[in-house]
Amino acid sequence: MKTFKQHIKESHASYGVGTQDQNSAEDSNKGAHNIDNPEVLKSVNAFVGAIADREYIDPSHAVNELKEKLGRLGLSFDDVKLEGDNGTVTLAVKQFGGRFGKDIDGADINDDGVSHKKSGGLKIEFKHEKMSNNTSKVFAKLV
C-alpha cells in the first residue's frame, strides 16, 4: 500500500504544479512581478500593448481598464486624463505602492519599488489618436 507522500509525489511528478491540462499562475515559472527581468517585461508589454486592439469612445476608459489589470501584478500609476485628439503622456509606475522605511544600513527608503531593481525605474507611455469614426485608439507600453 502506498503512503500519502508517495501518492502525492507520483501524481505531481509528471506535470508539476496545477493539473495536466493547466499551467501554474506563473507561466513557465517566470513571475510577472519580476518586472526587472527583460523577458518578463517583454511579456507584460505584450499584455499592455493589447489595449490597442480595441477602439474606445473615451480614451480614459482604456487607461482605467489597463490600470485595473496592471494592479493585479502590483503595478500602479497616477490618474491621467488623455485630452485632445492626439497626444502622448508618460507616467511613473510604482510596484506594490513603492517602498517606505529603513534600509539595512539605516538609510531612509522612499521610492517607487522598481528603481532599486531596474535602473531608471519603470514608466508607462500612453499614445492616443482620434479615429475618423470619432472613436479613439490608445497605445500603451512600459519603458
CB 103 within 8 A of CB 2: no
Strands lying side by side in the sheet with 123-130: 55-56, 136-142, 123-130, 86-95, 75-77
CB atoms within 10 A of CB 113: 21
| 1/98 Cα distance (integer angstroms) | 52
State the pTM of this model: 0.69
pLDDT tens, residue order, the chain (143 aa): 888 888 777 765 555 544 555 444 445 556 777 788 888 888 888 889 888 888 888 888 889 999 998 998 889 999 888 888 899 999 999 988 888 998 888 889 888 888 888 888 899 999 999 998 989 999 999 98
Q: Residue 90, SS3?
A: strand
How many helices (DSSP H) and strands (DSSP E) are in the chain?
Answer: 3, 7
